[in-house]
Structure 1
């Protein structure tokens, strides 16, 4: 069948269905007309003949109901049910008697049936009452019979006594048989047996069972005895059966009458059926013709679907299966129906095939890219591990074992990466989100970076950062030296002013009056005290070489750092410090943090071309982090400079004096301390730098440690250092004996015992006085421990290793952590 290319499959099928619908409507119209004609005939039939048929059917139904209900009256046990069924039967009889065309003979039969029903009801009700009494007597006789059976089975009686009990049991059994007898003859047999057993005299010598005999006789004899009740009950049963026979005869007469009425009605219906059948035959013929035409159209449509739609769908399905199996050469004809659904499916198949060919090509490219990626990963200098969601290693390159210092066999079997690192001694020294720094006992440092995968799991990248970490430490030292050089330059200027003040005051002392001399000496003393303070602060900043995190309270740190920052600023730059309302405890390297803040302030000062202000604010906005904000009123930074501000070796200074390490080192230090650095800047409006550090525990961790020495001899000629060191030791719980000269210390050691430790300044008037005090203490007091302190320690001790760990060298100012630390004494060779 060749389909028209201008019509879609849907249009053709809809046209066929429309024709079928029209034919169906035509057939329905014919059937409707026929049914309307039949309905008019049925109405006339209903008004006449069917009314008679209905009357006859109701009569037959009542007669049939009488015939079926009669036998069940005798089977009912409840008097109420018997009365209920009898009332229903009398109602049926009344319905039949009320018919207007009832024949006289049928009326007489119905009257006899009514009387028979009354007799049946009376006999049944009387019998039901007797049955109740009989059942109670049967129950009592059965109980008596069981008791007699138990007595006759006793083994402690004589033969005569047991025989007497057996006789009584047989009497009771006869009574039970009478209670269950089905007719008068059976009842008479059990009554004869009963009398025969009761007349039998008791066995000789026995007096038992008299009471049982009397009870059994009471059950059996008299008008209320079992035999009399059973006789009357059986008589009522016979009367009820007789009444039932009479009712059945009447019911048969009524049924015969109903059959005659029904036959007459059937004849009338048959004549109407003949005329109606003729009309329906005409309608059937018309419907058959319509069905034949509809069938032809349906076959035509089915042929179209089978030859065009199904054939093309099968071809398309086979082509898709071959395409799914990898056969990209399969093709289908373009088809004649270019605009219908089949044509669209054919075009879709060609698109699928083209897409499959492109996917194959893309797959081959992906395979090549995957191979290239594998080669790149294998050739990387960093270790790469692909982790499952549980942390297990699913894939890794060979370089991973080298970076971690593990045998390659450890990665050949499935292993958990974290457990593998922990088992081989790698410990995390710094951790942030997605980044960790690990160290091993040998001092190696590696960096770990994790990135989550979309399907779960992660990729871990390990880099050997040992050399870079060492380089960073050296760069931090360079940065600190650079900061120290800047501060030293500013301090040198202040020292020039101090020395000028001292010099001029000394010249004026020669010709000054006594009162003026006191003023000049006070001026000299103040200048000396200021110089001492500047020296102590410069030494405190310069001595912090180790990078050990400790618990630091930021308000206290800034209070001690403010004067040092003042020294680095020009006179036209003001410094404002706003401490926090509460204590801010962080765990950082104090020296590194001081260096970071000074570097930021130096950068801020360089950004202020004329006069300006630098403000340092301490706060904790969220209660979990401490924020150090340094804000200046300088020239600010452009977006380009701001984007590179924290990159190493990037400097915006045009004089070439900047190394570009300041903010980069600050950023690295703060990130290693689990913090963050944010910079906000706008050209012409200044810069804001925020250092964020996590808060830690309370000040209880800052309480000074207790010393293992109770009595300490302190030898110090500088009054400021002497007071500071003495207060520090006393606060730590020690008893301090202070000497301000070397000779005083030697005399104290010669005259007193019981010192646990000796702390002496190295320079007590000359280069060897401190060593003399130390030697005297170590030689004459075997348990004492000696600490030699100085702002400029020599490279080695003159005693070599003679005193071992009893002698330690410490730099000023005195610090409890260094005092308690394990410091080795270098030898002079």
Structure 2
């Protein structure tokens, strides 16, 4: 450490202000001594001036004293706002109240306005003290909560980094860490807007974990919720603390305003006194003109003493200022060892400068320490950023890649140079031949021709842009597909067992009655034939139900007015319902044409209304509404106010042979048949139910867009038909008629035709070719060779969403099997929009 030497003059304990007063006193004394000779001449005038000066200066002194004390009160108000010790706060508040009492005694009730101002200042100081005490208490509680949250945040981070834990559990601990970090941010936020933003983020993260039923996660989540929520929660404490701080600042502003009024009054008194002095001086100039010679001598002597006093003061002040200036310069260029001696010039202006230098030096040392800690944190973050197993990219508002970690190129099977030359994430995915499938807002699946599946999670940043996290989920998706296969096999086994049981009963009935027919009388034979017919009808009904569930029943679709069909079946439904149940039918306000099997549609509506009536105990209502849904769909809603379905029953409502009727009379094929019929007709079914609040079944049916099928039967141009099922291939040939048709029975054959032949106007491909889901790939190949080609991907088990790139092209449609005229009409209409 280097300590600068500063001059230590005699009387260095005296302040600069006191030294100036001493110099002025010496000058006044010299003036009085030198002017004693003119006392006799100036006695009368001097007496008048002294009296005037005594009166004026007294008033000025009173005004200055009043202003100084009021200013002292106002100067202490901000200090009261920043004190963190209750004891110190009480002491400083007492000092301020003592100053107010001195001012009040000094005024002695002479001015009613000042009495009111002093009373308001006293009330403001009391309010400021009370609010500061409450704020200190709230701050202490918030700091304690922050300490607990900091410990929890580090613990959650450690749990999230344990690689031996399952990924889902690590993500949950990571979410818990993010919740702790959000609460820590709220505890350190300095404004209500920031706290509100943290509160919104906190609620969003809480929602992510609400469905998790793991006891450990739930207990930890409840602990964080106890810290954050309620009247004693972190958010309420922070809002209360900021509110009291704002009110305290308002009280401080009122103190300043009162002080300003008092100072203005003091300034008016001073200005009046100065005006009186100037007036009296002008009156006495002529009276003291003859003493000019003596005054000249007094001036000379006064100048001499002033020069001596100035030399004395300036020497002391300049030396110390030079020492402080040198120390500041050395500190600014990086010399942290420079110091100034303590204990000298205590209380005077130079001492305050020394103290300011020491505070500045301490802040500089703290800043250096903070910079070192920040550099360590940056290094830690960079290691985490580059060594994490997932790919990470920071995106701008226009999805340009600002930064990425080292894992991103490896995860996307790209070279580092490729990543550097592509400026956006979309370009990277295109370069790596990745196909994006949207799952939900902020989530997407990336599929590679090699079979690799990468999950893309994209979250917006508060400062703009977004962060993209890419994780390889290939193994997880394979396990999920395997689990789905197992479940399908279990469902098939359950269906096979039920069907075998039912057909066994039917065959047993047939066998028994055939045996009895050998020796039966004519009357008995007629009865046995009737029994055999009933058994055959039961077998036929069971077969039709299974075909409906499998979406393979034979349908006779017609183009019809949906409003007329729904209103026309009203009487039949009303007859089948209990008299205590009211039926309300609301057709659409516009005419809606659909292509359906009318008999199956009427049976569907009747079955849904019967199901709804069985869920109603006593009196109730059933509503049937026809509502347009978008530009190409119509919705039929069947709603009841019955008992509804629990979540576990709703999850299995579509399963074949599953029935929740308490009397055990249900076959379990009703909703399964409806589901098969609607899906085979190109629609979908949605069920919303809540136990105790009724059920709503929503049937989504495509609207019929064309009234003329002649052009569909004979499309113009070249058509590539890709199908490995001979029956479906023959059916497509019949629909396409005399079109220029080129057939391919495998994905390899189709790829060769697309690559070597001239472009096709239409491509119709099955989604599943052999054991490969190759339909999407065929569509992509066709678009690459000819962007004007219209493609239909056909399947009996069509997924809900197609790949994003194909959907964005606007040239690919998905069609449910069997292929029909409506699908060809859609293709023709799409081709005509070119």
TM interval, shorter chain, is 0.3 to 0.5
Give the TM-score normalised by the residue count of structure 2: 0.36
Give the TM-score normalised by the residue count of structure 1: 0.36
Larger radius of gyration: 1
| Higher RCO (C-alpha under 8 Å, 6+ residues apart) | 2
